[in-house]
């Protein structure tokens, strides 16, 4: 591996929303950005190791993502899946023809003993991604959702059941043994670090596993850079995915304020949408800086604008000595 | 597995030419045909177990084969391979999007401990193939070609080098330990057996491994049914593949007579093309029945006609007590 420049900003991301802000940050920072990605949704399907969040971030940063779905590759074809069904194989998980390449290459290299970190970095470089893309861990962690039917693996809940079964909690299997990678630790340890940004991802199942890794919260509390989060909840709704629904099922009001409560004690500031500016005072009262800005990312320009907002907000917090 | 009818005919086949005659035989015999397929070209590529001859026979019997190449699936797309190259992966072996399905499903099931025989049978049934498709063995055998550069794995020679390096012999690694499957033994043991037909496949690297399996020649010599072969060499040339070229490099004249010499002592009769009828007497003189017929299979009807020729020829030999 070639030497990477010291990152100035570390972003934590899950899938679609996280990938969009990561893209905005990369537009601002190029090589000075490291993106730490959730791997607790990773699973094995048809003998292939699938890393949904890494794939979404990879495709988004490479400019390959399907703009309609947010996941997968634009202009995808589905001939593999069609043939799998003809052969009597499983058709419930949408594996596109182009998308398969990343799964097959990754699976082969993992089986040969290479680390997910190395493989992810090689693929990102092959696709011309300037930021460092870092899996949160090279050790297996598997999110399971607690339901009335028992523990369900995340993909069974998310894809197989379309999130249509109420959740009462989450288990990140393997989390107590999973180590934060050296690359992630070094990125957070850097003296040049200017900000840690929690992208607008699901706070429970996307950023939750990253934050629950052993030593992660301690390391975050020791870093000198401000830590800010962007609320994935706008006007009581999640832009994408089951975050708001999960809040409701857990008996928590779906709102930016609930996001603030989840991240309380970890982040120094929260970016909330203009639609939620009436919540600013209540969130401030929790002891957290608040910044109100447009947070919905419809275009690539929106992503960059939100990234600039986050960087300015972090900069202001640093100047005010908040951290 | 459901009970199969007792096969009346067992065909031995390699790739394209073998698959065509197997299709002709299946048109005549439906469920009363078993096709024993070479697996010594099988190899691992990108972590996938690829069985080129089984795939070609499967696609041909399912009516899915690409009529231009003889291998692969008609109307194939190549988006996976395109993306693999973009990710920095290997592009030398043409893996089509639809074709990938069989490799991924097979690899997963093999890794889970299932036998190639069972997997191949399930896939054949899913595709509506009436004949029994039987890998020659569930144990690994790997063809290597002897060259001035040393031993080359078959796919390196065949695909990687386009057969453009002279061969001086063949090694079937693992052949001494590989067992003929119970299914193949039972098919050949059947009291109802009316013929064993060696399809017009490469006698060295397609049928060679099948015949070199431990006990195979002994079992063939004990069967009551006539054993006939169809020459893959017409007018000194192979219809497809490197058989004629290999003969030349081995110092053997590429001809139907050389095919007869290779199969001498194993087969009771040889079908040669009309173009080679001048060789009939010389081949008869080797102590082998000869039948002259059109053997080039351009259409599905040609395949059926050649199959009928073979079945009649075998029938005549049986009536004449030749076996």
Residues of B in contact with A102 (CB under 8 A): 83, 87
Q: What is the pLDDT of residues B96-154, one digit of tens each?
A: 999 999 999 999 999 999 999 999 999 999 999 999 999 999 999 999 999 999 999 99
CB contact under 8 A, A105 and B80: no
Burial of B229-256, coded b for 16+ CB within 10 Å and e otherwise, reads bbbbbbeeebbbbbbbbbbebbebebbb
Phi/psi of residue B139, nearest 5 degrees: -100, 150
Q: What is the mean pLDDT of chain B?
A: 95
Closest-CA residue of A relative to B99 is: A80
Residues of B with CB under 8 A from a CB of A: 46-48, 73, 76-77, 79-84, 86-89, 96-102, 104-105, 107-108, 111, 122-123, 126-127
CB contact under 8 A, A83 and B98: yes
Question: Which of A192, A204, A216, A231 is closest to A21 using CA atoms?
Answer: A231
CB contact under 8 A, A97 and B80: yes
A300 Cβ contact partners less than 8 Å away, ≥ 6 residues apart: A23, A24, A27
Q: What is the pLDDT of residues B222-242, one digit of tens each?
A: 998 999 999 999 999 998 899
Q: What is the pLDDT of residues A104-133, one digit of tens each?
A: 999 999 999 999 999 999 999 999 999 999
Q: How confident is the model at residue B2 (pLDDT cuts 50, 70, 90)?
A: very low
- Coil, helix or strand for A303? helix
CB contact under 8 A, A76 and B79: yes
CB-closest option in A46, A96, A101 to B84: A101
Largest pairwise CA distance in chain A: 63
Q: What is the pLDDT of residues B176-227, one digit of tens each?
A: 999 999 999 999 999 899 999 999 999 999 999 999 999 999 999 999 899 9
- Coil, helix or strand for A92? coil
Q: Count of residues for chain B?
A: 323
The terminus-to-terminus CA distance of chain B in angstroms comes to 33
Give the side-chain half-sphere CA count within 13 A for B229.
28
CB-closest option in B80, B98, B127 to A101: B80
Q: What is the ipTM of this complex?
A: 0.91
Residues of A in contact with B47 (CB under 8 A): 104, 107-108, 111
Q: What is the pLDDT of residues A51-110, one digit of tens each?
A: 999 999 999 999 999 988 888 999 999 999 999 999 999 988 889 999 999 999 999 999
Domains, chain B, with CATH or none:
9-141+174-231 (1.10.8.240)
Judged against a pLDDT cut of 50, whether residue B173 lies above it is answered with yes
pLDDT at res. A303: 98
Question: Which of B135, B190, B137, B185 is closest to B5 using CA atoms?
Answer: B190
CB contact under 8 A, A83 and B101: yes
Question: Which of A263, A256, A260, A252 is closest to A237 using CA atoms?
Answer: A256
Residues of B in contact with A122 (CB under 8 A): 88
- Rounded to the nearest 10°, the torsion over CA B120, B125, B128, B130 is 90
CB contact under 8 A, B101 and A108: no
pLDDT at res. B31: 96
CB-closest option in B46, B80, B97 to A108: B46
CB contact under 8 A, B77 and A79: yes
Token reading at B275 = 């173009």
Q: How far is residue A85's CA from residue B321's CA, in Å, rounded to a whole number? A: 49
Token reading at B183 = 């299914």
* Residue whose pair of structure tokens reads 């920095």 in the numeric block: B88
- Coil, helix or strand for A294? coil
Phi/psi of residue A193, nearest 5 degrees: -65, 130
Q: How far is residue A107's CA from residue B291's CA, in Å, rounded to a whole number? A: 52
**What is the three-state SS of chain B?**
CCCCCCCCEEEEECCHHHHHHHHHHHHHHHHHEEEEECCCCCEEECCEEECHHHHHHHHHHCCCECCCCCCCECCCCCHHHHHHHHCCCCCCCCCCCCHHHHHHHHHHHHHCCCCHHHHHHHHHHHCCCCCEEEECECCCCEEEEEECCEEEEHHHHHHHCCCCCCCCEEEEECCCCCCECHHHHHHHHCCCCCEEEECCCCCCCCHHHHHHCCCHHHHHHHCCCCEEEECCEECCEECCCCHHHHHHHCCCCCCHHHHHHHHCCCCCEEEEEHHHHHHHHHHHHCCCEEEEECCCCCCHHHHHHHHHHHHHHHHHHHHCCCC
This prediction has a pTM of: 0.92
Sheet with A150-153, edge to edge strand ranges = A150-153, A142-147, A169-173
Site from A43, A76, A80 to mutate, B interface, most B CB atoms within 10 angstroms: A80
Sign of CA dihedral A187, A188, A191, A196: positive
pLDDT at res. A5: 60
* Burial (CB count within 10 angstroms: exposed 0-12, middle 13-18, buried 19+), residue B301: exposed
Residues of B in contact with A133 (CB under 8 A): none
* Residue whose pair of structure tokens reads 């290459």 in the numeric block: A105
CB-closest option in A84, A89, A101 to B87: A101
- Beta strand residue intervals within chain A, DSSP E: 9-13, 33-37, 43-45, 48-50, 132-135, 142-147, 150-153, 169-173, 195-198, 227-230, 233-234, 237-238, 269-273, 289-293
CB contact under 8 A, A73 and B83: yes
Judged against a pLDDT cut of 60, whether residue A1 lies above it is answered with no
CB contact under 8 A, B107 and A47: yes
In angstroms, the separation between the Cα of residue A187 and the nearest Cα of chain B is 25
Q: What is the pLDDT of residues A249-302, one digit of tens each?
A: 999 999 999 999 999 999 999 999 999 999 999 999 999 999 999 999 999 999
Residues of A in contact with B102 (CB under 8 A): 83, 87
Q: How far is residue B96's CA from residue B108's CA, in Å, rounded to a whole number? A: 18
Residue pair B193/B127 in contact (Cβ under 8 Å)? The answer is no
In angstroms, the separation between the Cα of residue B213 and the nearest Cα of chain A is 30
Judged against a pLDDT cut of 90, whether residue B159 lies above it is answered with no
Q: A-B interface: how many C-beta pairs under 8 angstroms?
A: 100
């Amino acid at each position: 591996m070639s030497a990477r420049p010291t990152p100035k900003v570390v972003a934590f991301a899950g899938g679609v929303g996280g990938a969009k802000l990561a893209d905005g940050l990369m537009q601002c920072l190029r090589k000075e950005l490291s993106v730490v990605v959730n791997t607790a949704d990773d699973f094995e399907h048809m003998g292939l190791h699938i890393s949904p969040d890494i794939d979404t971030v990879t495709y988004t940063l490479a400019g390959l993502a399907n703009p309609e779905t947010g996941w997968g590759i634009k202009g995808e074809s589905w001939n593999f899946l069609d043939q799998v069904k003809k052969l009597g194989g499983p058709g419930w998980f949408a594996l596109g023809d182009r998308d398969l390449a990343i799964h097959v290459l990754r699976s082969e290299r993992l089986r040969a003993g290479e680390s997910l970190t190395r493989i992810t970095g090689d693929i990102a470089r092959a696709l011309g991604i300037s930021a460092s893309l870092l899996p949160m861990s090279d050790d297996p962690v598997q999110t399971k959702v607690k339901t009335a039917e028992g523990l369900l693996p995340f993909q069974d809940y998310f894809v197989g059941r379309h999130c249509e079964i109420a959740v009462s909690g989450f288990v990140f299997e393997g989390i107590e043994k999973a180590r934060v990678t050296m690359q992630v630790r070094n990125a957070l340890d850097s003296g040049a670090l200017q900000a840690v940004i929690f992208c607008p991802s699901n706070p429970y199942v996307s950023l939750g596993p990253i934050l629950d890794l052993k030593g992660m919260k301690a390391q975050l509390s020791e870093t000198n850079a401000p830590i800010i989060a962007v609320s994935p909840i706008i006007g009581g709704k999640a832009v994408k995915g089951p975050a708001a629904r999960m809040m409701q099922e857990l008996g928590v009001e779906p709102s930016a304020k609930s996001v603030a409560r989840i991240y309380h004690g970890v982040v120094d500031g929260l970016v909330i949408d203009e639609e939620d500016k009436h919540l600013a005072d209540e969130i401030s009262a929790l002891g957290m800086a608040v910044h109100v800005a447009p947070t919905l990312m419809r275009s690539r320009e929106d992503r960059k604008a939100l990234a600039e907002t986050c960087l300015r907000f972090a900069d202001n917090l640093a100047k005010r000595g908040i951290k």
